[in-house]
Amino acid sequence: MYKVVTVKDRVRVEPSKFKQDLMQSVNESITAEYENKLLENNWFIICLVETLEIGEGHIISGDGAIYYDAKFKLLIYEPLLKEVVEGKVSEINEYLVFVRSGPIEGVVHISQVMDDYISFSKTKSLVGKESKRTLGVGDTVRARIVAISMKNLKEAKIGLTMRQPGLGKPEWLEADKKKSEKPEKPEKAEKEKGEKKK
């Protein structure tokens, strides 16, 4: 889930930025300190949205920088269990499908792709034996988050499933919708009417 959060922190502005406009130097310092960082609460910081307040500067003995108490807004991404996400398939192997959703890659075990026996083709795509549904690199999919492991940025992974109603490729969902909206065959409807009269 993407959201904007307001943060209050002391921002360190290096001496090399003293000649710049104060707002510009504080914004650059916030960006350098926060952007593309993963915090302990599973927040991945994407970028600075805006700086709301800059307080008086403070000097700390032995440090040539100036510290400003600042209030600012950050755009963050926080994966949530059971959240439905959309993403693009970035890689497929015999056991896993990797889905890029936001700044972090999700993983779908092959058993969680569809309700069908799946084969892995030489073209690095998956094919359902009975449904003939295919999944390849670059396909857009909808999946649900079932596990979150965010120990560090390099190993951050999200476990996904596509085996629940309303999940999978948009083409699969459209086909399922059309199938459920299909009217009964006229002969079947007539037979049922005849049985009711008896």
Residues 93-104 have pLDDT tens digits of 989 999 998 788
Q: Which helix (H) or strand (E) holds 178?
A: helix 170-181
3-state secondary structure 80-106: CCCCEEEEEEEEECCCEEEEEECCEEE
Across the chain, mean pLDDT equals 87
Amino acid at 65: A
The pLDDT of 119-146, averaged and rounded, is: 90
Same CATH topology for 2-77 and 84-180? no
Confidence band, pLDDT 50/70/90 cuts, at residue 147: very high
Question: Which residues are paired to 48 by β-bridges?
Answer: 74
Please name every residue paired with 76 in a beta bridge, in sequence order, or none if there are none.
3, 45
pLDDT above 70 for 190: no
CATH class of domain segment(s) 2-77: alpha beta
Strand ranges for the chain from DSSP E: 2-13, 44-59, 66-77, 84-92, 96-101, 104-109, 118-120, 126-128, 134-135, 140-149, 157-161
pLDDT of residue 146: 95
The full set of domain ranges for the chain reads 2-77, 84-180
Instruction: Kindly report which listed range (16-25, 34-43, 87-96) carries the lowest average pLDDT score.
Output: 34-43
- Whole-angstrom distance, CA of residue 44 vs CA of residue 64: 30
Please state the CATH superfamily assignment of the domain spanning residues 84-180 in this structure. Nucleic acid-binding proteins (2.40.50.140)
Q: Distance between CA atoms of 24 and 28, rounded to whole angstroms? A: 6
